[in-house]
Amino acid sequence: MSSNPLPFPQGFLWGAATAAYQIEGSAHAGGRKDSIWDTFARVPGAVADGHNGDVACDHYRRYKQDVALMKSLNMKAYRFSTSWARCMPDGVTPNPEGIAFYSSLVDELLAAGITPWLTLYHWDLPQALEDKGGWANRDTAYRFAEYAAVMHEALGDRVRFWTTLNEPWCSAFLGYAAGIHAPGRQEPRSALAAAHHLLLGHGLAARELRRLDADAALGITLNLTVADPRDPDNDGDRDGARRIDGQFNRIFLDPLFKGEYPADLLADVAHLGLDEAVQAGDLDIISAPLDLLGVNYYHGESVTKDPADLPTSVEADAAAAGESRRPASPFVAADGARSVPRGLPVTGMGWEVQPEGLRRLLNRLHAEYTGPAGIPVYITENGAAYPDVPDEAGFVDDQERLAFFAAHLQAVHGAITDGVDVRGYLAWSLLDNFEWSFGYHQRFGLVRVDYGTQERVPKASALWYSAVAAANAVPDADSGVSSAGAGVVLSV
């Protein structure tokens, strides 16, 4: 650790995160049936090289090994998702064998001194419910609340942190508008209906969990961005940034914290029927008080309405993933607004590295949402993919990823010194894994996974992060970021 460490508050929660479909494998073991991602991965051109999650990291069979690895890396919390398709394969009927897997995982975590943090939904809707309309069908919100109750009955005696949804923006707008995520639909009206029904499902599930356990820590995780006009003096760029902020951030934040959709958003999407999905009492359910907000941050946006023939960020993502289908815009009423490069360093995903945006985002949340609500923030995902090159032992000296983590943790520390109540940081991701439409071509893991042998080898970033977690402090920006343990391999 640096001689100039930046200390974090006592009790700050350090850990890592994963998602069920991305790591578990054993796709049809123990009574599990297809989720929308199983179905989507079979669509020609939907996922790079036809990859799927059938095996992934084989975590379903290797979870004890993975928990031991977390413990060796000083993880104090593990955010994982339960697969709705494993626990209730038809979306409505509990599957004891599938639920038992998560009970065993929770017991293993607790025995290792690791806090289990359960996310109920990380995009793997049972295909049986998609066949009935998916999240565009209001009934799915009620089925989600039933699922939440089933999972709490099984795990609520041991799990204290509960996240309802992970990144509902991706579920609604990449899945139902852009078509680059499951279920692969390109229907703007359905996307807006899905966004509302996801929020309603969150509210109904939170109400069920609160009824069952008044002391549980309940939250939702949103992926959020900072949308800046490329030219602050250009009316079109400012309007484009406003629209993307509305259709990315405020479409979820305002209903959750203010009990209403933003007026400008409603005007922007008036022709797409969002108001038709909203029924009396919905916003009261959605805006019930939370105990925390989970924030996922990867990069900000520089927004223009310049009609130059530049790829939008979603088009660039699709091209990088090798998709043959042309995606639609996830911003269903952004009127030509697009995100454009501004010359910053980029990750393997082509995403710009903008840690100062995280500090600005956290300060905005504190000023407008979480501060007035009196609730803390946890960074529930932050990380980067880079073209890892392992040595003969499988070790990756990933200094770019290490620097990414250092810069963003410095930004989090800065926000805390600004007065923002940030109480934890969960790195994305513990393991290299199935990266959605990119298949296995993009690696976000602190730990390298050899997909042929399933060997796990912590990278330099993992060793550095382990030291940060142990010290509860991060080196300051002038101290450098090299991992002192870069020659150590912890293969579990």
**Residues involved in catalysis:** 381
Tell me which residue of 134, 14, 136, 30 sits closest to 83, measured CA to CA: 30
Q: Which residues partner with 17 through β-bridges?
A: 79, 428
Q: Which residues partner with 474 through β-bridges?
A: 6
Residue 124: C-alpha distances to residues 160, 183, 293, 359, 414 (Å) = 22, 10, 21, 31, 35
Element (H, E) at 166: strand 161-166
- Three-class SS of residue 433? coil
Tell me which residue of 358, 335, 357, 190 sits closest to 265, measured CA to CA: 335
Helices (H) and strands (E) in the chain, counts: 19, 15
Exposure of 478 by Cβ count < 10 A (0-12 exposed, 13-18 middle, 19+ buried)? exposed
420, 362 Cβ separation under 8 angstroms: yes
Q: How many CA atoms are closer than 13 Å to the CA of 420, on its beta-carbon side?
A: 29
Q: Which residues partner with 116 through β-bridges?
A: 78
